[in-house]
Copies of this chain bind each other. A is one copy, B any other.
Amino acid sequence: MSAVVRLLDGPFDPAAELADFTALAAGAGAIVSFTGLARSEDRDGMALTALVLESYRSVTLRSMEGIAAAAHARFAIAHSRVLHRAGRILPGEAIVFVATAAAHRRAAFEAADYLMDRLKSEAVFWKREESVAGARWIEPTAADTADLARWHAREQD
């Protein structure tokens, strides 16, 4: 079992991470990855120059580790990897990478989905989009809140 969580200050290569993770998890059978890339436009179609993610390193890392631990407690996964960038991220660059490995694909899919839903709403980051018009602080969307609520609903089943 492995659960790797990293908070990165510069660009990383999702494909290299998948290669490394797959080598580690070759015995697992099913591997799911999610890569989130910085958008080039905001919701109104305005061109973005950067996405800036502020973190508070120790607390941010602990929030990510807590989410990863919960995924291992909840799903039958053998390995997980969660990478998240902080700082200034250019359009098209990877912000977040999540990978899960399991004997059965359903667990791998659900754990990756769960990790992303929680990271998107609960990880300790403050983010703003920068464009020529200035900066705008971003909060979780209604879709993020609804995605997260799916897991709470299942807990009460």
A interface residues with partner B (beta carbon < 8 Å): 13-16, 18-19, 22, 26-37, 39-40, 92, 94, 104-106, 108-109, 112-113, 116, 120, 143, 147
Contact = CB atoms under 8 A, between A and B. Distances in A.
Contact of A37 (B28, B109, B147): B28
Given A32-B33, A147-B106, A22 B15 contact: yes
A141 to B, nearest CB: 9
B34 A30 contact: yes
Identical chains bound together, number: 2
A35 B15 contact: no
Contacts of A32: 32-35, 112
A139 B147 CA distance: 34
A35 B108 CA distance: 10
B22 A29 contact: no
Contacts of A14: 18-19, 22, 31
Contacts of A30: 34-37
